[in-house]
Chain A
Amino acid sequence: MLKSLHIDPDKCTSCLLCELACSFENEEVFNPAKSRIKVFTFHDQGRYVPYTCTQCAEAWCMSACPVDAISVDRATGAKVVSDDLCVGCKVCTIACPFGTVNYNHDTGKVIKCDLCGGEPACAAMCPTGAITYVDADWTGYDKMRRWAGKTDAGPQAHA
């Protein structure tokens, strides 16, 4: 089954453990500045929203890359940057409609979410279930079920 990162901002508390897990998984350092996922705080609304690459089926970043440094991981569907090929031209950062590909000045390469090869560290670290890794075709399953529970016609439907 193809899986997908699923974000439920209602559950996020802005603890940034996802950012720590991401930077640790990729760089072996706790450093939100090098995280591929980022939590945004909307203080006046009391809202906290994690945001990262959604792995577009038709990936703008991949189409834009002039050196074919971004490819699809067939096992996970992730669009993965090859550090060996990336020349740091940043065209992908312009092409991405969502801003989730970013440049890392320490390495001269771009970084983006690669789903950690199928075991995303952010989801594993998240204490509230705001970030989960679920069936890519049924990311709405839990939400549907929640709403389904509210459309109650009584314990037994009448004929």
Chain B
Amino acid sequence: MSWQGKILRVDLTKGTCTAEPLNMEWAQRYLGQRGLGSKYLAEEVSPKVDPLSPDNKMIFATGPLTGTAVSTGGRWSVVTKGALTNAIADSNSGGYFGAELKMAGWDMIIFEGKAPRPVYLHIEDDRAELLAADYLWGRTVWEVEPAIREKHGDPMLKIASIGRAGESGVMYACVMNDMDRAAGRSGVGAVMGSKNLKAVAVRGTQGVRVRDPKGFMQAVATARAKLDPSPVRKSFTRHGTMAMMDTANRHGTLPTRNCREVQFDGVDKVNVATMTRVRLSDGKANLIGNKGCFACSIACGRVSKIDPSHFSVQGKPKYLGAQGGLEYEAAFAFGPMAGVADLEALTYANYLCNEDGMDPISFGTTVAAAMELYETGAITGKETSGLALPFGSAEALVALAELTARGEGFGKDIGLGAKRLCEKYGHPEFAMVVKGQEFPGYDPRSMQGMGLAYATSNRGACHMRAKPWSDDFARITPDNKANVVKASQDEVAAIDSSGICFFATNVWTLDDLASQLDAACEGGWTAEKMREVGERVWTLERTFNLKAGLTKADDTLPERCLKDAAKSGPAKGMVAELGKMLPEYYTLRGWTADGVPTNETLQRLAL
């Protein structure tokens, strides 16, 4: 129980949908979602596959706790080989779609091949069929969701889809669900677009059962009693992830103007205070409320209304209603990273990322790279569709968001991502990326642990594969970071395989999670068993990447972080000390000096 025990295999080339049993032996070793999805991918797909070819597969995976009443138990993942990174990708999303898929009786959907014409998948419990999506192609996520509900006369359908970015091959396109939730990173939306799959619409009425119902509700209540009253939960509810803006700036870890600086002089214009302050123009605040994903007692999601007098929305009434508001990662990338100190412009760019399914982190960081290319004269108005791209230009940010979402003009170049863009124009050093994926909102020079986490992340630069925050904020020196990061990576891999949200575990220990998981599932789940699963998942991903052709040389950071010292803040004068941390990290993992898991390690993890 808690797993549904069933997979839907969709062959897009042949147009068939087939049910098959979930491999329960693998479920015990890889749990679900990220871990189990990665196991299926590694078993079925050659690591050398071209991510955008029909031979790549794409897996929608839930975890055993997805669809249960565990707080935050609504997560799901898209697992595939990433278009952006050429590495294994697991992009995790919330909203309601994942739980609905589980309610319909499925743990996973495996998509293979490529549809000859645009299609969408319609699932109603056991029944699944591919339907023509020609009428949906070219339309945005915000148009697709109501259109499919209307066509089926079913207002309760939950939908995951790609916008125009996924169709036109923006390398960091997302799979969106529930209007503004995203499986955001590594270009999983580009993979979906390459398969001519526009959307998946699900209605589930079968429900999710747990192993020990009474014990489970008791474990859930105990865990809620710890999570709900905590100051961490309260901060997430009130301020969302945006609370990080001021914290990151104070700590000198706020990536600014393409990481040339680590603190932003305009931070006061893009922080929580500005988001909640009543505007002079219309007498209202940008932030109008918060919302939760499925089963979440935190509800960190922001709901915003943009300033109707802002230049970006003139003559565009569809953006004036309530929409998903800025989260820290989007705000840092459009704001400090691009030097833009205009919260309403950031809000608009965020709307466009949701509407057409683009990863705001990668988009913003790519815009920042383009601004540096422009400033140094490597590109001019000739390449940029006539746009001036100085750092700090809200007009440029807004125009590039529109062009990229539509796949027009210079937007096509921005859609390449920072690495390919900077290589194209002869300055690879301007790309703030690891393994081709753009930096999130933490500069590695003042967060050494985060730097190591970026460098070793199996899906490229990422702040969600480990959680070194408290240690990094307490200590800016690189000693013992390898230990912190390795342990945290294993924990997070287990959390991401369970069906709950990373954020709940800012309060819960792995023991708190294991007691809920054990009441839900067979297998005698303990924190220890979860850690073992986490390490196995991490090493499996690593092995996939090595077979794909990645090497130790890819476990690195941009030169800027390794050679140019931080100019201000607590870490002033410091660089990222990767050279000190990486060998220690490999040893702790049981890998060779070249970053290859030893036979002994593989055997220990039963890989």
Q: How large is the interface on A (under 10, 10 to 19, 20 to 34, 35 or more residues)?
A: 20 to 34
- Establish whether residues A15 and B293, one from each chain, have CB atoms under 8 Å apart when the complex forms: yes
16 contacts between A and B (CB under 8 A): A13-B290, A15-B293, A15-B294, A15-B297, A23-B207, A24-B69, A24-B213, A29-B209, A30-B208, A31-B103, A33-B103, A33-B207, A43-B322, A46-B322, A47-B322, A127-B297
Q: Is B207 touching A29 in the complex (CB atoms < 8 A)?
A: yes
Interface size class of B (residues with CB under 8 A): 35 or more
Task: Judge if B305 is at the interface, Cβ distance under 8 Å.
Answer: yes
- Inter-subunit contact B321/A30 (CB<8 Å): no
Tell me if B9 is interfacial: C-beta within 8 Å of chain A: no
**From A15, which residue of chain B is reached at the shortest CB distance?**
B292
Interface string of B215-232 (1 = CB under 8 A from A): 001000000100010000
A45 to B303, CA, bound (A): 9
| Chain A, Cβ-Cβ closest to B224 | A127
A33 pairs with B205, CB closer than 8 A: yes
The answer to whether A46 touches B305 (Cβ under 8 A) is yes
Contact A45 B322 (CB under 8 A): yes
A44 contact set on B, CB distance < 8 A: 321-322
Given A45-B321, A127-B224, A127-B228, A13 contacting B208 (CB threshold 8 A): no
State whether the Cβ of B96 lies closer than 8 Å to any Cβ in chain A. Answer: yes
Across the interface, name the chain A residue whose C-beta is closest to B233: A127
Q: Which of A15, A30, A43, A46 contacts B296 (CB 8 A)?
A: A15
Which residues of chain A from 94 to 140 have a CB within 8 Å of any chain B CB?
125, 127-128
B179 & A34 in contact (Cβ 8 Å cutoff):
no
Number of interchain pairs (Cβ within 8 Å):
80
- Asked if A21 CB lies within 8 Å of chain B CBs, one says yes
Q: Which residues of B are found within 8 Å of A28, using beta-carbon distances?
A: 209, 213
A31 touches B208 (CB 8 A): yes
Query: Contacts A15-B293, A30-B208, A43-B322 given; 14 further ones with Cβ under 8 A?
Result: A13-B301, A14-B291, A15-B295, A16-B295, A17-B297, A29-B209, A31-B103, A33-B156, A33-B205, A34-B205, A44-B321, A44-B322, A48-B291, A127-B228
- Do B205 and A16 touch across chains, with their CB atoms under 8 A apart? no
| A127 CA to B72 CA, complexed, in Å | 12
Residues of B within 8 A of A45 (CB): 321-322
A88 within 8 A of partner (CB): no
Quick check: A32 and B213 within 8 Å, CB to CB? Answer: no
Are the CB atoms of A27 and B207 closer together than 8 Å?
yes
What's the least CB distance linking B85 to chain A, in Å? 32
Q: Does B288 contact A (CB under 8 A)?
A: yes
Could you tell me if A16 and B68 are in contact, using CB atoms closer than 8 angstroms?
no
Q: Mark B558-579, 1 if CB is under 8 A from A, else 0.
A: 0000000000000000000000
Given contacts A46-B322, A127-B224, contact A31 B205 (CB under 8 A): yes
Which A residues are CB-close (under 8 A) to B297? 15, 17, 127
Residues of B contacting A61 with CB < 8 Å?
none
Determine whether A20 belongs to the interface, using a CB cutoff of 8 Å to chain B: yes
Q: Is the CB of A14 within 8 A of B292?
A: yes
Q: Among B292, B305, B322, which residue has the most Cβ atoms of chain A within 10 A?
A: B292
Which residue of chain B lies nearest to A105 when distances are taken between CB atoms in the complex? Answer: B205
Asked if residues A46 and B289 are in contact (CB atoms below 8 Å), the reply is yes
In the assembled complex, which residues on chain A have CB atoms less than 8 Å from the CB atom of B69? 17, 20-21, 24, 30, 125
Q: Is B204 an interface residue (CB 8 A)?
A: yes
Q: Which of B103, B288, B292 contacts A32 (CB 8 A)?
A: B103
> A128: which B residues are within 8 A, CB to CB?
299
Q: How far is the CA of A128 from the CA of B292 in the complex (A)?
A: 11
Q: Is the CB of B207 within 8 A of A31?
A: yes
Q: Are A30 and B322 in contact (CB under 8 A)?
A: no
Min CB gap A132→B, angstroms: 15
Q: Main secondary structure on chain B at its contact with chain A?
A: loop
B203 to chain A, nearest CB (A): 8
Whole-angstrom CA separation of A127 from B227 in the bound complex: 10
**In the complex, which residues of chain B have a beta carbon less than 8 angstroms from the beta carbon of A21?**
69
Interface: B601 (CB within 8 A): no
**Do A17 and B103 touch across chains, with their CB atoms under 8 A apart?**
no
Closest to A44 in B: B321
Contacting A at CB under 8 A, from B137-190, are: 156, 179
How far is B322's CA from A48's CA once the two chains are assembled, in angstroms? Answer: 12
**CB-nearest residue of chain A relative to B2?**
A30
B206 part of interface (Cβ distance < 8 Å): yes
Q: Once the chains are docked, how many angstroms separate the CA of A119 from the CA of B303? A: 32
Residues in chain A near residue B204, CB distance under 8 A: 33
The residue on A at minimum CB distance from B217 is: A24
Select B67's contact among A17, A30, A47, beta carbons within 8 Å: A30
CA distance A30 to B295 in the complex (A): 11
Residue contact B299 to A15, C-beta cutoff 8 Å:
yes
Which residue on B lies nearest to A42, using beta carbons? B322
**What residue in chain B is nearest A29 (Cβ atoms)?**
B207
* B residues less than 8 Å from A20 (CB atoms): 68-69, 295
For residue A40, which residue of chain B has the nearest CB? B155
B294 touches A16 (CB 8 A): yes
Report how far A96 CA is from B294 CA in the complex, Å. 29
Cross-chain contact A43 with B179 (CB below 8 angstroms):
yes
Whole-angstrom CA separation of A13 from B297 in the bound complex: 9
Residues of the A chain whose Cβ atoms lie less than 8 Å from the Cβ of B305:
46
- State whether A34 touches B207 (Cβ < 8 A): yes
Q: Is the CB of B299 within 8 A of A46?
A: no
B293 touches A30 (CB 8 A): no
Residue of A nearest to B100 (CB): A32
Could you say which residues of chain A place their CB within 8 Å of the CB of B289?
46
B295 touches A46 (CB 8 A): no
Q: How far is the CB of A156 from chain B (nearest CB, A)?
A: 31
Which residue of chain B lies nearest to A21 when distances are taken between CB atoms in the complex?
B69
Query: Could you tell me the distance in whole angstroms from the C-beta of A158 to the nearest C-beta in chain B?
Result: 33
Q: Is the CB of A13 within 8 A of B209?
A: no
Q: Which residues of A contact B321 (CB under 8 A)?
A: 43-45
Q: Smallest Cβ distance from B159 to chain A, in angstroms?
A: 13
Give bound CA distance, A23 to B103, whole Å: 12
Q: Encode A40-58 as 1/0 by CB contact (under 8 A) with B.
A: 0001111110000000000
- The 8 A CB mask of B271-299 against A (1 = contact, 0 = none) is 00000000000000000111111111101
CB distance from B597 to the nearest CB of A (A): 38
Cα A20 to Cα B207 with chains together (Å): 10
C-alpha spacing A144/B228, complex, angstroms: 27
CA A102 to CA B103, docked complex, whole Å:
19
Partner of B208, one of A14, A15, A29, A125: A29
CB atoms of A46 and B179 under 8 A apart: no
A121 vs chain B, min Cβ distance (A): 9
Q: Measured between alpha carbons, how far is A16 from B294 in the docked complex, in Å?
A: 6
Q: Determine the chain A residues whose CB is within 8 A of the CB of B293 once the complex forms.
A: 15
